[in-house]
Structure 1
């Protein structure tokens, strides 16, 4: 790729298309702004349902005692805390240190020890090849600038026989429900963000980023292109949220 082509590369930032090199910094600023209220806002936006989705997600991962699992974009620890209960060895990684700091504080308050915390860019992991038994990422991959690179890195760091699991918002296919959800998310969620976190713009971006994320079949093809086999998509609420999975064989 030439320098001029690189300069012309764009990435989605909500409904905007911006120079790709700007996305990481702009997304980072958003999560630094919302880190302290992130979990409270998740409860408000999903009416608490995110807890059920995460419980289901971890049941699908089936963490085992002694397994090495990388929880990417896991900043505040929601997924890691659930998996650690099963005796797995969890490395929590996030590109945003403010999110990691919240997770570390939450773990300390719960008396949870043994978790590893590591600031990492999902597109350029510093871990060796083939070291993890499972890779999880929940509500994080849509914020990555180059999703294909993040998927390739997930494949690289997994052992043969390792499994990939991603929990992400998608597009519901239930007739009628999608219109109701669109109205709720675009009109009410930014207002909730202002009321609870004092930040309307960040939550407007988060909603818009969901709309720009690839549909379930397209994202599954991206997972397959990264080298994963036996891929599967499990829609929740008609696809409002989906659990994507695959194996490195």
Structure 2
């Protein structure tokens, strides 16, 4: 079964490219083909990516009876356009996931007691935000003001320079303060983080307060989101998180469906995901 492509209109937020228009997001939905109401897994792609990057995970979950849906995050997807806000206003991604779940509740026969989420890289953070992880306002503001270095983003060079050319210091501080509030969606009961990003930008105590079960997977050769600052931090701080490295030679981009996977990382992780969500939803 192939996914359905649908457009989600969010009238509560404007488009960053055309501020007079509401925000439009593209979603990929793999309808459940088993009994209903169906359990659900929502997916969040990595920075600069798109929902189809995780089709390798969506299909096995769908085959196992889950309705699976992904969303292309506005301003941070090659199916949309690259906008500086999409690469820096991290908290907006969690709101995209909530919008997606709202759509599924309205348009599909789903079991709202059985909703999980999985994400890669920036999407791993996104899942954490939906589960209760919060941005550290002081660190994020200092990064936006140029006082501390920002993580390297290959898809968007000169990220902070571009951001600061568009927004004043006061505007950025206000935006960070708004984004640092909780983005928790209590409908999401379990999460999978694949090579999660921006771990050092979160409040550790917020991770310690997450009550959902969480599976974390990464590769030791990941130099995009180094495990000691990201995957290991998430795993060790979230009370019910567990996971281990997928190998000393496994890098960051093995989790993208169009990349080489000589050791079979993706099929292994997909099988683990099915087992994890079957057990925890």
Say which structure is richer in helix.
1
- Superposition TM-score, scaled by structure 1 size: 0.36
